[in-house]
């Protein structure tokens, strides 16, 4: 079974631009979560999508948004980029059994650099 | 709110020796899951071990074991017979039993010295 894939792997943008990151979950996985990873901050939860609906949301400004398609693929968008948005953005998918734990399988991440 | 704390930003261990990574968490829930994830340099994060809060027995996966102290809200990872391939960033994570939001610690960077 193919793992979680993220595209692109690397991105360089300038302040004020917007960016869209893509995540394809493992086949059969219906939950997709997004995280921002920065040195010293660890992984900060952005949001989680399930069946095309945002089910959980972290404490990030509205410039960060996402969506999920009917095939469970997800995109994350950051508008009006700031220098502080430079980070590794990780996507993770899980099967989602609501009454059981859900191991999250991570993608390789997208390294975003904002100049 | 749930929080996960890893108080050791960096650790080192001699090859073949044993090392313990610390993690504490804060939650008011009684049913939850705890995880240790490993992130090797420039590689994908992978699950090392998981623990269900309702289980008193500590989880073990080959050379990896945990010391789960529910009352103290402590969840440490012990790596025995350390190998060079164990060098990575290790993250402790928490999720509620019916939730899909994971809370991660800030990570511990483990160096294995040959």
List average pLDDT for each run of 10 residues in chain A, which is 115 residues long: 91 97 94 90 90 90 96 96 96 74 87 96
pLDDT of residue A87: 96
pLDDT at A96: 74
Q: Does B43 touch chain A (CB under 8 A)?
A: yes
Instruction: Give the three-state DSSP class for A84.
Output: helix
| Angle ∠(A26,A102,A69) on CA atoms, nearest 5 | 45
Structure tokens at A23: 């995540």
Q: Which of A37, A34, A61, A31 is nearest to A49 (CA)?
A: A31
Mutation target vs B (from A101, A102, A107, A111; most B CBs, 10 A cutoff): A101
B2-58: pLDDT as tens digits: 799 999 999 999 999 999 999 999 998 888 999 999 999 878 899 999 999 988 899
Nearest-angstrom CA–CA distance, A54 and A57: 7
pLDDT range class, residue B1, cuts 50, 70, 90: low
Kindly state the percentage of chain B with pLDDT values over 70. Answer: 96
pLDDT at B41: 87
| Per-residue pLDDT, B99 | 65
Residues A79-112: pLDDT tens digits?
999 999 999 999 999 887 555 567 889 999 999 9
Which residues on B lie below 8 Å from A47 (Cβ)?
Answer: none
CB contacts of A100 in chain B (<8 Å) are 97
């Amino acid at each position: 079974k193919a793992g979680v894939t993220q595209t692109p792997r690397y991105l360089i943008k300038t302040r004020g631009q917007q960016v869209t990151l893509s995540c394809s979950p493992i086949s059969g996985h219906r939950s997709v979560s997004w995280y921002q990873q920065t040195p010293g901050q660890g992984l900060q939860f952005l949001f989680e999508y399930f069946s095309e609906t945002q089910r959980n949301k972290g404490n990030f400004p509205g410039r960060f948004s996402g969506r999920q398609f009917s095939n469970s693929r997800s995109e994350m968008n950051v508008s009006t980029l700031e220098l502080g948005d430079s980070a590794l953005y990780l996507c993770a998918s899980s099967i989602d059994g609501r009454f059981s734990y859900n191991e999250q399988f991570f993608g390789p991440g997208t390294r975003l650099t904002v100049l | 709110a749930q929080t996960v704390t890893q108080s050791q930003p960096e650790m080192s261990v001699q090859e073949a020796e044993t090392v313990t990574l610390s993690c504490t968490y804060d939650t008011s829930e009684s049913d939850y899951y705890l995880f240790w994830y490993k992130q090797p340099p420039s590689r994908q994060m992978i699950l090392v071990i998981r623990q269900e809060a309702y289980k008193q027995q500590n989880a073990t996966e080959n050379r990896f074991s945990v010391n789960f102290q529910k009352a103290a809200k402590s969840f440490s990872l012990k790596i025995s017979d350390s190998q060079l391939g164990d060098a990575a960033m290790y993250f402790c994570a928490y999720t509620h039993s019916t939730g899909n939001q994971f809370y991660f610690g800030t990570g511990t960077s483990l160096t294995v010295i040959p």
